[in-house]
Structure 1
Amino acid sequence: MFPLRFLVRAIVLPSLAIAHPLTSAASASAFEYLISFGDSYSQTGFSITGTKPSAANPIGNPTFPGYTTTNGDNWIDFLITQYNTSLILSYNFAYGGATTDASLVAPYESTVLSLIDQVSQFSTNIASKPSYAPWTSSNALFATWMGVNDVGNAWSNSSWPTLSQEIIDRYFSQMQILYNAGARNFLFLTVPPIQKTPLVLAESTAVQTQEGAAVVTYNQLLQVGVDAFKKNNTGITAYVYDTTTPFNTAIDNPTAYGAPDATCYNGDGVSCLWFNNYHPGQAIHKLVAAGIAGVVPL
């Protein structure tokens, strides 16, 4: 376990408020709502009690692109403004530092909202399809990018082989809640190669190897979980996006993405691949969004 990582993951800087025009295209998007869950890799600082998403600000609140860990757009911002074919409103419940279930893997502090807490927010506020968010089973995409903190905080635990399965079981118990509320279109993002972050690269080769193996195990269990979820429920369309590809694309050719090397980090979010030693900058997030748009009709 690395206490420093808890601290690093807590860093959230206000982003510059830059307006992004919505992309226009002849074809219509299959989705009008993106309802998402996750951790700091996805957070925009959205509060369900604040201003609701609209054409003027598709993330609702705060000012676009929100409070991210890129000092600008993250994958959700890119997805709904540069890779969409019509207006997509984002209800993003992601919370920095989140784990799937805080009772299984503790976050860096007790106030962090886990996936369970985030789904509870959804259930309390928009599961009923209120007038401000009249989503339907066909026009809403439910996206979840969890596991970075579950793996990062617990891979070294001696119980990881069984704990990882417990995490996935809890993960899909939350997906079942979404399904029961009417969700039918799901996007699952895998855990990226966090063993290649500057933070983990500062550790021993043995640590990097073991953490990398834990990432692989988690992602395999995630895929098995998706398959079982589809088998046990009718009418599901599920997309599993392997985030290893965009991360490795940038890491293997950093200069093509404005970085001098694959390990530097800079809070501006653009001059290095990394915003800090554990969070990817804007180039990697844009690659993630582009990859998703290649497999999901937006």
Structure 2
Amino acid sequence: MKKIFNFILLLIIIIQNAYAVIKGKDSSLTLLSKTSIFKYDNIKDLIVFGDSLSSVNTNFSDMTYNIKGISEGEKWPIHLAKANGMKLWNYAVSGAVADFKIIPRKFFNTSYIDEYQMFLDRMSKGKKFDSWDGQSSLFAIWLGCNEIRCIKHTQEVQKVYNTAINIIFDKIEGMYKVGARNFLILNIPPLDKAPLKEDQNYNYYRYDIFYYNEKLSEYANNFFYRHPDTNIILYNANEQYNYVLLNYQEFGLFTGNTPWTVGRRYGLSRYFWFDNFHPTFRGHQIIADDITVLLKSLNKK
């Protein structure tokens, strides 16, 4: 049965690759409420959860952040917040996974569950930073890359991914209960195309990422079915990465493959990859710009 499932996955991936790559904004899932109208121009607060792809060295005592210690520069939440004049509340922490009980990480101690609890402790009703409003706030979640990278393939990987995504949406349910109505969820980029160690074979990433992203879409649809007063935007970061890596010259990039830490022929602005996994500030800007176009377009619907 497992071999049949893997064959079907491979067939789907081959079929998908046969079609032209399009930008993330043109291939994202948008589930919009008929009663709680999404008005991006009115969004004032951006509340972020995630891992190193989203973290900005937040000081959780006062919720300020400091980009000076971020080698790759400003990340997508900062670019997105600036583009729409939003206040950024960033709970993302480097190394995070949904739950360390399912994906243990020896040198990291803040999970998505912990991030969610920090949000409740600081921004739920009666707390220090509770001035946000559900209609004028956007909750953004980007998780899963560390699950893909760190899972042991001696485990039942699909069961682990199901558990991780279930945790993500369980906490989204918690956000909903305290007033959140607008959600931006980013799927997993094509890590098999990242400049990881060349002596290792990462082809299994393609199967894992495809499965994870399909489940993410399934959960998003189910959540929207239960809560039709929400707006859910499942942004296709996977397709956006593919588009940029294939059409890197369109964005003024020198290469779509070599990381800046290896090449350093030009400045960071000419590279998409900072290292073997993380984008440069320019890569983050390209992603944020595409998300911005998508979110602004939803004002018309």
TM-score tier (shorter)? 0.7 to 0.9
Structure 1 residue 61 and structure 2 residue 65: aligned?
Answer: yes
In structure 1, give the amino acid aligned to 2:97.
T
What's the TM-score once normalised by structure 2's chain length? 0.78
Whether 1:38 and 2:42 are equivalent positions in the alignment is no
Offset at 1:109?
A: 1.6
In the alignment, residue 96 of structure 1 is paired with which amino acid?
A: S
Q: 2:214 aligns with which of 193, 216, 220?
A: 220
Residue 273 of structure 1 pairs with residue 272 of structure 2: yes
State whether structure 2 residue 90 is matched by structure 1 residue 92. yes
- C-alpha separation in 1, matches of 2:74 and 2:188: 20
Which has the larger helix fraction? 2
Of 237, 245, 266, which aligns to 2:231?
237
| Matched residue type, 1:197 | A
Alpha-carbon contact 2:124-2:130 (below 8 Å) kept: no
1:74 aligns with 2:71: no
Mark the runs of 5 or more structure 1 residues left unpaired by the alignment.
1-26, 53-59
Q: CA RMSD in A?
A: 2.2
CA distance, structure 2, for counterparts of residue 250 and residue 203 of structure 1: 25
- Tell me the equivalent position of 1:253: 247
1:21-170 correspondence runs (5 A): 29-50=41-62, 52=63, 60-62=64-66, 65=67, 67-68=69-70, 70=72, 72-81=73-82, 83-84=83-84, 87-111=85-109, 113-128=110-125, 130=127, 132-154=129-151, 156-170=153-167
Aligned to 2:170: 173
Please tell me whether the aligned partners of residues 95 and 108 of structure 2 are also in contact (alpha carbons under 8 angstroms): no
* 3-state SS of paired residue (2:41): coil
Distance 1:30 1:110, change over 3 A: same
Structure 2 unmatched ranges of 5 or more: 1-38, 262-266
SS in 2 for 1:249: helix
Q: Cα offset for 1:108?
A: 4.7
- Cα deviation for residue 294 of structure 1 reads 2.0
How much does 1:234 deviate?
A: 4.1
Which one scores higher on RCO, CA 8 angstroms, separation ≥ 6?
Answer: 2
Q: What's the secondary structure of 1:296's corresponding residue? A: helix
Distance in 2 between residues matched to 1:214 and 1:69, nearest whole Å = 29
Label 1:73 to 1:208 Cα distance change in 2 as closer, same or farther (>3 A). same
State the distance in 2 between where 1:246 and 1:154 align.
Answer: 24
Contact in 2 for aligned 1:186/1:239 (Cα 8 Å): yes
Q: Is residue 2:258 matched to residue 1:264?
A: yes
Is the CA contact (8 Å cut-off) linking 1:42 and 1:68 kept in structure 2? Answer: no
**For 1:100-154, what per-residue CA distance to the aligned partner results, in whole angstroms no more than 9, with x for missing partners?**
111111235242x111000000011111264644111101100000001011111
Q: Which secondary structure state, in structure 1, belongs to the residue aligned with residue 47 of structure 2?
A: strand
**Counterpart residue type for residue 232 of structure 2:** A
**Aligned residue in 2 for 1:192:** 189
Aligned length: 254
Letter of the 1:29 partner, please give it. Answer: D
Q: Which one-letter code corresponds to 1:181 in the other structure? A: V
**1:210 partnered with 2:222:** no
SS of residue matched to 1:176 = helix
Which stretch shows the higher mean deviation, 93-102 or 278-287? 278-287
| Counterpart-to-counterpart distance in 2, 1:41 and 1:131 | 27
Range with greater deviation from structure 2 (256-265 or 228-237): 256-265
One-letter code aligned to 2:89:
Y
Counterpart in 2 of 1:20?
Answer: none
Distance 2:40 2:146 in 1: 36
Asked if the contact 2:271–2:283 (Cα under 8 Å) also holds between the matched residues in 1, the reply is: no
**Which residue is 2:13 aligned to?**
none
